[in-house]
């Protein structure tokens, strides 16, 4: 999910009033939903100026996928009712329309995964964090990795591999010792997960225009699954991943707490 730098100009000529609230199925998020709807009302997402997402990062990713798949145009503002809340703003019910008026925007593009299974079925899914492959059994996976049609890694023996967006570079990618990428860097980290051979390969930084192909070798003996955020496809034989710049979603953040700033802070955290 590459992005343009956050805008410092207001998105709206006047304070937005048409808000659509979407809440995770948790007690805390549902309670906040009831309070916010009672205070500010609730409209259909298709008629909203802003969609307000109540939950954690996982529910935010689900909400953004719904926005992309249903071609909604309203930006999304997250309020944290979860654990980490990297993609969210602090929960604060007071003066919400005024805060939304001053929010700063980050325009994002997702990754598109096309996965083929052993049954020769094709599955497509969008990812706003990462696309990763992982072994389904005790057997290590064997993967071949192509970039723009050229074989770059003939055989990677590993638990798996992932291609992350800049925003997703601070998530699973960072845990797998991949690099953090600035939001405006137009780069995609390609990172192995517990590589056995070649043991010293630490991955690569690819341009956002790259088309990455994963081929599963010995797929019956060493079955592999592919995941685009929360969409999982089992028993894949090949996976193609590229950034889809025809699709756009806008995320809103409080001033001084933009996604770009959060990613920068991660690079200096202990």
Burial (CB count <10 Å: 0-12, 13-18, 19+), residue 43: middle
CA 244, CA 239: separation in Å to the nearest integer? 15
CATH of 111-243, picked from 2.60.200.30, 3.30.1330.10, 3.30.450.20, 2.60.40.1260, is 2.60.200.30
> What's the mean per-residue pLDDT of the chain?
91
Q: Is 74 exposed, middle or buried (0-12, 13-18, 19+ CB in 10 A)?
A: buried
* 175 is known to lie in a ligand binding site: yes
Per-residue pLDDT of 102-152, as tens digits, reads 999 988 899 999 999 999 999 999 999 999 999 999 999 999 999 999 999
Q: Which DSSP letter does residue 244 get? A: -
Percent of the chain residues topping a pLDDT of 90 = 76
Instruction: Confirm if 111 and 163 have CB atoms less than 8 A apart.
Output: yes
Q: How far apart are the first and last CA of the chain?
A: 25
Classify the C-alpha dihedral 193-194-198-203 as positive or negative: positive
Tell me how crowded residue 87 is: count the other CB atoms within 10 A of its CB.
Answer: 27
Question: CATH 2.60.200.30 residue ranges in the chain?
Answer: 111-243
Is 170 annotated for ligand binding?
A: yes
Rounded CA separation 217/215 (Å): 6
Which CATH number is associated with domain 19-109+248-266? 3.40.50.10330
Residue ranges matching CATH 3.40.50.10330 in the chain: 19-109+248-266
In this prediction, residue 9 carries a pLDDT of: 56
Pure H helices in the chain: 27-40, 57-69, 96-102, 172-175, 259-266
Residues with a catalytic annotation lie at 57
Q: What percent of the chain has pLDDT over 70?
A: 96
Residues constituting the chain:
270
CA distances (Å), 251 to each of 7, 116, 121, 160, 239, in order? 11, 31, 33, 30, 28
- 125 marked as part of a ligand binding site: no
Give the whole-angstrom CA distance, residue 51 versus residue 22: 7
Is pLDDT of 4 > 70? no
Tens of pLDDT, residues 54-108? 999 999 999 999 999 899 999 999 999 988 788 899 998 888 999 999 999 988 8
146 labeled binding residue: no
């Amino acid at each position: 999910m590459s992005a343009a730098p956050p805008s410092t100009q207001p998105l709206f000529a006047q304070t937005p009033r048409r808000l659509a609230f979407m809440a995770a199925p948790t007690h805390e998020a549902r309670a906040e939903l009831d309070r916010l709807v009672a205070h500010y009302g609730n409209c259909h997402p298709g008629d909203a100026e802003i969609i307000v997402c109540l939950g954690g990062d996982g529910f935010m990713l689900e909400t953004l996928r719904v926005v992309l798949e249903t071609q909604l145009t309203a930006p999304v503002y997250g309020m944290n009712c979860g654990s980490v809340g990297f993609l969210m703003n602090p929960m604060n019910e007071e003066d919400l329309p005024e805060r939304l008026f001053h929010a700063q925007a980050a325009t994002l593009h997702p990754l598109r995964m096309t996965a083929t299974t052993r049954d020769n079925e094709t599955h497509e899914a969008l990812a706003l964090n990462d696309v990763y492959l992982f072994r389904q059994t005790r057997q290590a996976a064997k993967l071949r990795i192509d970039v723009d049609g050229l074989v770059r890694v003939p055989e990677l023996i590993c638990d798996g591999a992932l291609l992350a967006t800049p925003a997703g570079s601070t998530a699973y990618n960072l845990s797998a010792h991949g690099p953090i990428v600035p939001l405006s860097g137009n780069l995609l980290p390609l990172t192995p997960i517990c590589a056995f051979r070649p043991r010293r390969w630490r991955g690569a930084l690819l341009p956002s225009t790259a088309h990455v192909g994963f081929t599963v070798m010995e797929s019956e003996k060493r079955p592999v699954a592919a995941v685009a955020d929360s969409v999982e496809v089992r028993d894949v034989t090949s996976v193609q991943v590229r950034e889809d710049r025809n699709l756009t979603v806008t995320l809103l953040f409080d001033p001084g707490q933009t996604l770009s700033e959060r990613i920068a802070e991660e690079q200096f955290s202990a």
